[in-house]
Structure 1
């Protein structure tokens, strides 16, 4: 990604995090980035392209802070916890990412144009979590009776819900992480879900 394009996306994320998707104006992004509106239209075609590109950008940025430890000997449960709990950090970029995701999810309720990108990126997250659970099952650390896809849906939905409370300062970072850890343990016990 070009430096200029990244600068525009960073500015877009800041504006969305402050004003929401509905409050996003191209003029505000241009002012924040110190560029002309024409440059934004050149790179993103229209406001919708700017919003979907910003969502892809925060997704890529999140992959950087929730990435693997690089240690092949880390138990899958610890990797899962690290991946899910990394969504809650006392870090400006992490909070901004969470705010952008929440705003785009909310806006997609009314704007069908946002749904394909949102669905694609959400599916990638679900697949990553489900594959890790399946890896734990292959290792024998997670019971075969756990439905990896269903557990991934519930865990990622929990993270999304906790995120809104965390951003509103209704939960501390430690409390949000503790809820994720407790939910993960309950999901991975392998009790038959009837």
Structure 2
């Protein structure tokens, strides 16, 4: 079993089948809900909304206001939420570290290897060690770098739960998030 090639799809399937993906998704959702900066930013966007600050807005029905607000603010709010999700996923000390360790553990289990594959160095682990050996390789790009080259688009699809803070966040490939 140690000599077979384990694909990323194999690891993902295992993570999906054992409930790990659902657990990680729930942790991301809970951290998004607890993100006071995201809440404040969203509240500010609503308070500064053209829809609510247009004369006659008070005469519209709640549904009309909600629909207009959604049309005006959905994209910027989703972009901010997406950025927050990526920050969580790429965090080397929090959830991102947990994700990396979990994926490595599952890969090791499937391939018959003993974890950890990379022995941790001072504080940066294998990536830091690789960076010292070859400074141009294995460097994670920041979200802003990925956004600038067009690789990051809407990542979080919150449209399935419109009015309130979503109970579930669906991570979707950027190509299918174009709605």
Q: TM bucket by the smaller chain?
A: under 0.3
Greater fraction helix:
1
What TM-score results when the alignment is normalised by the length of structure 2? 0.27
Larger Rg: 2
What TM-score results when the alignment is normalised by the length of structure 1? 0.25
